[in-house]
Structure 1
Amino acid sequence: MSILKYPLFVSDIDGTLVNRVKKIPDANKQTLAAFRRHGGLFTLATGRSYIEAKHFIEELEVQLPVILCNGALIYDPSTDVLSPTATIEREIVFDTLVELEKLKEVFDIFVYTPERVYATGISSFSRSAIEEGEFPMEMIDTFDHIPQVPLIKLVVVSKEETMQQFRKWMHQVNHPLELVQSADSYFEILPSNVSKGNAVRSLAERLDLTVEQCAVIGDHLNDLPMVEVAGISAAVANAHPKLVQAARHVMPSNEDAGVAHFIRRHLLATAPQAQGQ
């Protein structure tokens, strides 16, 4: 039995666990190891797909189910199985794409399935953000060519100065969808009731824990639902202002190993002699 007050710790990846060059600081690795030695359970919650998150899962030897695509997809390392928690009906996806494509001159649109990401084009702006070899994208002539597989989410990418058209469109959506900003230039369109918060709640139940026994940390608005439900929460210093306001604690930035600071100050503090180990 864990001696920790918050035995389950869930961390966002981009802007939180990793630094600007997408590496996990050694301090984060070391404190995560100490947290686990004292009975702590750890997993990731990210907007990334499985392929994009795979090397972090392996590097940290994550054993618990991993929350992917902002809660729309779960990967269980123990069975090596990807499971959608919800999907968007194909008709709704294509209705939404028709509306979005009217604004195509300022957006890149990506459609996520459990295994692949589909696009009909990609700008240099989006391409610069893609990690080589880790984005399972397939270019197609038209979205009609997407195979008959579960549709997990849509991602809209644009420079901030051209995002106003999308923001206006957001307020006109009639379908039962969740729209959330996951980075300064990224908006995600998810199945109804899908969020990191609901995924954390479900994971806690699976582990026979209460959500009040969960600790979370993040940096952007897609992390807000899990910050709002967890027993203890933190935002890194580089986080979106709304997340900083909502989180119970504010840690140093992702560049300064904010995750490590959170673990030492607030998670291991409940374990005798843990902080120096």
Structure 2
Amino acid sequence: MSILKYPLFVSDIDGTLVNQMKKIPDANKETLAAFRHHGGLFTLATGRSYIEAKHFIEELEIRIPVILCNGALIYDPSTDVLSPMATIEREIIFNTLVELEKRKEVLDIFVYTLDRVYATGISSFSRSAIEEGEFPLELIDTFDHIPQVPLIKLVMVSKEETMQQFRKWMLQVNHPLELVQSADYYFELLPSNISKGNAVRSLAEKMDLTMEQCAVIGDHLNDLSMVEVAGISAAVANAHPQLVQAARHVMPSNEEAGVAHFIRRHLLTTTPQAQGQ
């Protein structure tokens, strides 16, 4: 049994756990190992699909469920099972796609399923952000060719100068979906009530932990829901201003191993009962 005050720690990946080279700094690995040595449980909460997150899951030898696609998917390493928390009805997806394809500010649209990502094209802007060999993209002539499989989320790519205009339009559209900005140029449409925060809450319940015993860290607006519900939270210094304001603590940037600083300063602390033993 863990004697840590916050036995469950959940971290975002991009912009948080990894640096600009998409590598996990050694300091982060070392402090995570110390956290787990003291009985801590660690996992990831990311907007990435399983294939995109797989090498981080393996590198860190994560053994508890991983939150993928901003809470829409859960991967359990102990059983090697990928489970959707919710899906989007095909009719809703296609009605939304019709409207999105009319918007000039939308550069690319990606439709996520359990194990594939579908698009009718990809701009050089999006291509430059894709990690070679780790993005399960399948280009199709029309979205009508998407197989009859569960549909997990929509991702829209738009340049920063048109992002605000796009956001205003999306908030006016009548659809039963969750809208979240996951990066400076990425908006996502998720099934209703799906978020990283709700996924962390569900994970804590399965582990017989309260939200007060959970620690989280992130960098963007898709991390806001878990920052708002966790017992202790942090934003890296490079985080979106709204997340910096919402988080209890602000750590050094992802380039300076902010995750390691958070663990050392706040998570390697024991419960009052343990301190008195």
Normalising by the residue count of structure 2, what TM-score does the alignment of the two structures yield?
Answer: 0.96
- Letter paired with 1:190: L
State the shift of 1:104 in Å.
4.9
Matched residue, 1:115: 115
Matched residue, 1:58: 58
- Contact 2:233 2:248 (8 Å CA) reproduced: yes
Matched residue, 1:138: 138
Residues 112-142 of structure 1 show CA distances to partners (whole Å, capped at 9, x for unaligned) of: 0000000001000000000000000000000
Higher deviation after alignment, 25-34 or 155-164: 155-164
Structure 1 residues not aligned, in runs of 5+: 273-277
Residues 133-187 of structure 1 show CA distances to partners (whole Å, capped at 9, x for unaligned) of: 0000000000000000000000001211132442232122211100000000000
Is 1:258 paired with 2:258? yes
Matched residue, 1:215: 215
Please give the residue correspondences for 1:162-241 in structure 2 after superposition, counting only pairs within 5 Å. 162-241=162-241
Matched residue, 1:9: 9
- Contact 2:63 2:77 (8 Å CA) reproduced: yes
Please give the residue correspondences for 1:152-171 in structure 2 after superposition, counting only pairs within 5 Å. 152-171=152-171
**RMSD value, Cα:** 1.2
State the shift of 1:269 in Å.
2.8
3-state SS of paired residue (1:168): helix
- Contact 1:38 1:271 (8 Å CA) reproduced: no
- Contact 2:100 2:106 (8 Å CA) reproduced: no
Q: Distance between the aligned counterparts of 1:7 and 1:168, measured in 2?
A: 39
- Letter paired with 2:46: T
- Contact 1:155 1:189 (8 Å CA) reproduced: yes
Q: Distance between the aligned counterparts of 1:266 and 1:181, measured in 2?
A: 28
Q: Distance between the aligned counterparts of 1:26 and 1:212, measured in 2?
A: 28
Structure 2 residues not aligned, in runs of 5+: 273-277
Normalising by the residue count of structure 1, what TM-score does the alignment of the two structures yield?
Answer: 0.96
- Letter paired with 2:94: F
Q: Distance between the aligned counterparts of 1:264 and 1:171, measured in 2?
A: 40
- Contact 2:31 2:263 (8 Å CA) reproduced: yes
4+ residue stretches of structure 1 with deviation over 6 A?
none
Q: Distance between the aligned counterparts of 2:167 and 2:42, measured in 1?
A: 35
- Contact 1:235 1:247 (8 Å CA) reproduced: yes
Q: Distance between the aligned counterparts of 1:139 and 1:105, measured in 2?
A: 21
- Letter paired with 1:219: D
Matched residue, 1:147: 147
Please give the residue correspondences for 1:10-159 in structure 2 after superposition, counting only pairs within 5 Å. 10-104=10-104, 106-159=106-159
Aligned residues: percent identity?
89
3-state SS of paired residue (2:42): strand
Number of aligned residue pairs: 272
